[in-house]
Structure 1
Amino acid sequence: MPSTSLRSENSPHLRIGWFTASCVLVSNIIGGGIFTTTGIMARDLGDPLLILLLWLMGALFAVGGAMIYGELGSRLPHAGGDYVYLREAYGPLMAFLSGWTSFTIGFGAAVAASAISFSSYALRIVPIQDEQGLVAKGLSLTLLWSATFIHCRGVGAGGRLQLLLTTTKVLAIGGLILGGLSAVIGQGHPLFTEPTVQKPTLGAAAIALVIVTYCYLGWNVAGYIASDIADPQRTLPRIMIGGTAFVGVVYLLLNVVYVSTLSITELAREPIVPVAEKAAAALWGPQSGRLVAAILCLSIAGAVSAMTWAGPRVYWAMARDGMISPWLAQVHPRTGAPACAIVFQSLWASLLILSGTFEQLLVYSGLVLSLFMALTLSTIFRLRRTSAPHGQSYCAPLYPLLPAMLVTGAGALVIYSVLERPAESLYGAATILSGIPLYFFWRSPHKIHTRKL
């Protein structure tokens, strides 16, 4: 039986523990979205209670999804995540399209969006006239390629970086939440500001929920790096479920701070993106806003680092299966890192940074990822029928009701997104379909063999 594990051939003793893996998950979820997207929602919805309700719905959806992914990861604890689950359930074509989507959108566009958000906050710290956006793009690219260099040095260097960034991030966000709630209570702010006169449409709410869902995505990241984790069959479900629930609480509390500090009109006022910085400036003055912006730059850097670690494991697994160039299956002879795959992803993210905008990347990414999330969640039905669980495998609760509800919900988000944002939907569909000729191109000169695990 051929191995699908990076560690099986390179440094088998080098594994990370549950805490470092949890840091990767938390950093992968908490990127730039939670600090930036509430302004977009305020502009489109105009109701603080509806905003909080959507973030709560997103949290419940994410925890439910983490339960299903926890079982998938426990059954198939190998590098590649969604690609592996879809390969075993639906065959090589669907798996290839999932991997292609991970490269173009799931990690590539997500890294680009986070890097763009990073530069937005950095320019709030040191105001620089940047009419053409060259400085912002330069900052985004510097962050991306710094993370690329460190993760090419191996799991040890990447793990230390992730621990540092994530602990700093969590402490900073905890201070922001506690300080913000204390200031709100002390200054007598109402817990929720008044909504605007506009009535949010069902379509606008659906698009907002797509954005919220996108901000929660990442609970499955531990599955992508399963071969780097000690005892993944037992620890993956705990990492996914516990880490996702923790992030859900953080997101809800941060949004309470936002909507109790600023009115809907202020949240929606340009610049829309730096929501957390505006809230801090309103509570403690403009200097504190710059300090928070600096801390949040570290937070976003942690997300970029986590995605730079996790995403290339998908392309490595695809190359090992013969689905794409064997060049991407190469690992560094000393560190065991899939350096070629890491550089490959960063090159694509660089192109998106140079060409895209933050909101377009959010909707474009959220739509396609919702589609593949529904497909991956549905694999639980087939895998429960075709594969027997191992002795320590985790079984998700409320089966089959829970996965059925999650698949239906993700499918509804896709339909509303297509109706409300047809242009972004067309780009997303074109991205997925463009993978089909590439699949057959690689299938012709290379013998594709599905690895049974």
Structure 2
Amino acid sequence: MSTPPPSEPSPYRPPAGQDSSSEQDSSSKPEADGEAGAFTRPLSTLSLACLVVANMIGVGVFTTSGFTLDSLHSPTTVVLAWAAAGAIAVLGATCYGGLARQVTESGGEYLFLSRGVHPAAGFMAGWISLVAGFSGAIGLSAVAFAKHMPGGLAEYETTAAIVLIVIFTGVNLIGLRPAAGVQNILVIGKLAVLVVFACYGLGYLVFSPATAEDAAAATVASATTTGVDAWTWGALTSSLMWISFSYAGYNAAVYIAGAARNCQASVPKAMVWGTVGVAVLYVALNAVFVYAAPAEAIALQPEVALIATGFIDPNWLVEALRVVILVSLATSVLAMVQTGPHVYAQMARDGLLPRWLDTSGATPRVGIVVQAAIAIVLVLNSNFLDLLNYLAFLLSVSSAATIGCLFLPAFRGQPGKRPVPLWPWLPLVFVAATLMIAAHAFQFRWETDPNGLVQVLAVLPLGFAVYLWMRLVR
């Protein structure tokens, strides 16, 4: 694939009266990354797809089904929920691809909402990404990595989490291209092992039919014990919220689009195909998890993958899966450390964050260090990390608002040349499904832990105060 010149044009034009100088400057200058002459678009479609996969496959797929099984009381319903959330994620990736074809800069939700709606809307999306989408998620994944370490090493989880963040921060400081090369190798190896594991587990279920019958019988017993005969819409939507959080990252390529070769084609392709592949893998893996073990053994258990695998083979397979989980969490941290600073750099370029977060190269090294420092602080503050679980619905609302930009004149294209297939139905279905899940999840959280939800919502006025301050000091 040939590499286009750094002045790759964008068909996007800001609304009338909006200054476009920052877009032109950021997309046209041949900035260097490492060696002189290496332009700021070093990422191939393969690297972008690996970035998407690495962002998506993290702690959620290995831990969520134990909690969703307790809520939904049926292995089949749990698997269908994973499939439904996967379909929503594919819709989201398709819609983000339609936006990426029109804006060839890095920035993600911040960029689309800032250019299409208002800088304040974009800033709030970027602020949520800074607090939850990247820094907080890096901290959560690093802690999860430490918790999955074998033997007595887990007692040093805080130190291990910080060391992991520091190591991958160092890898990304070397440069975008070498960091992407390391990530590609790890992701491809991880995917190969997970596919083999999924096939092995599904084969075990097929040739051990009693396993599914035992799981179903245990499910009935569990439902009777808890006094719940069937799932409710609140439980379903709350479960979909958790599962959807496991799919977060399907849009990872848009955050770093300014470093992609042939951005208008490679970014949408990487997101859609990466998301489809992960969705199929997720459904297969969770079918193995919820059918291989009795419900009472895995319900409400955070290590559902390891526990379920123990019922398939209690020896070597469990430890092999543990290694895969550790690699998955490590690559997730690597991908988020790589991606997030490009958003902060674009916000700084637009004057909404301090200028020193903007760098002249394809690798925003200052932002990488700042993000790592925030993530480490969050790791040391475990109470705040617990609250980050409630920010999932804020990320969903941010995604819905971003896809809503496809209905605006600046992004919806011309009749006959719409940015996504079946416009406006695809974005409409995604927005409606995402907001419905977020609304039910909000209600469910309000009923179960209103204090925690209020503390999380305080992130919004704090972010708006920062936005007003930056506007004043510009």
Fold shared per TM-score above 0.5: yes
Larger CA deviation: 316-325 vs 174-183: 174-183
Give the alignment partner of residue 171 of structure 1, picking from 164, 171, 192. Answer: 192
Q: Give the equivalent residue in structure 2 for 1:338.
A: 364
1:449 aligned partner: none
Counterpart check, 1:435 vs 2:459: no
Task: Give the equivalent residue in structure 2 for 1:126.
Answer: 151
**4+ residue stretches of structure 1 with deviation over 4 A?**
387-390
In the TM superposition, residue 387 of structure 1 has moved relative to its aligned partner by 5.0
Measure the CA separation in 2 of the matches of 1:111 and 1:7.
31
* Offset at residue 377 of structure 1 (A): 1.0
Please give the secondary structure, in 2, of the residue aligned with 1:444: helix
- 2:206 matched to 1:185? yes
- Counterpart pick for 1:296 among 300, 322, 325: 325
- State whether residues 169 and 298 of structure 1, in contact with CA within 8 Å, keep that contact through their aligned partners in structure 2: yes
Question: What is the distance in 1 between the residues matched to 2:235 and 2:369?
Answer: 37
Alignment partner for residue 368 of structure 1, among 394, 418, 428?
Answer: 394
Gaps of 5+ in 1: 447-453
| Equivalent residue in structure 1 for 2:443, among 406, 419, 422 | 419
Structure 1 residues 338 and 5, CA gap change in structure 2 (3 angstroms): farther
Classify the secondary structure of the residue corresponding to 2:458. Answer: helix
Match of 1:22 among 49, 71, 78: 49
**Distance change (3 Å), C-alpha of 1:6 and 1:221:** farther
Residue 268 of structure 2 aligns with which residue? Answer: 237
2:167 corresponds to which of 117, 136, 146: 146
Query: How far apart are the structure 1 equivalents of 2:182 and 2:302?
Result: 27
After TM superposition, the score normalised by the length of structure 1 is 0.90
Aligned match of 2:376: 350
Shift of 1:400: 1.2
Q: Could you tell me how far apart the structure 2 residues matched to 1:345 and 1:129 are? A: 25
Residue 277 (structure 2) pairs with residue 277 (structure 1)? no
Q: Distance in 2 between matches of 1:7 and 1:173?
A: 41
How far does the alpha carbon of each residue in 1:317-358 deviate from its partner, in whole angstroms, 9 at most, with x for none? Answer: 0001111101111356xxx41111111111222222222379
The residue matched to 1:322 in structure 2 has which SS?
coil
Stretch of structure 1 that moved more, 313-322 or 1-10:
1-10
Shift of 1:244: 0.7
Deviation at 1:201, TM superposition (A): 2.7
Q: What does 1:202-281 correspond to in 2, within 5 Å?
A: 202-268=233-299, 272-281=301-310
Cα offset for 1:394?
7.5
How far 1:361 sits from its partner (Å)? 5.2
> Within the alignment, does 1:9 sit opposite 2:34 as a pair?
no
AA matched with 1:312: P
Helix, strand or coil at the partner of 2:39: coil
* SS of match in other structure, 1:28: helix
Q: 1:362 to 1:40 in 2, by over 3 A?
A: farther
Let me know the Cα RMSD of the aligned residues: 2.1
Residues 1:409 and 2:433 are matched in the alignment: yes
Aligned residue in 1 for 2:89: 62
Matched, 1:398 2:422: yes
Give the distance between the partners of 1:254 and 1:189, measured in 2 at CA.
19
The DSSP-based 3-state class of the residue aligned with 1:4 is helix
Matches of 2:456 and 2:424, distance apart in 1: 29
Aligned residues: 431
Q: 1:350 to 1:258 in 2, by over 3 A?
A: same
Pairing 1:29-178 to 2, within 5 Å after superposition? 29-122=56-149, 125-128=150-153, 130=155, 135-178=156-199
The runs of 5 or more residues in structure 2 that have no matched partner are: 1-20, 33-37
Q: State the distance in 1 between where 2:57 and 2:425 align.
A: 28
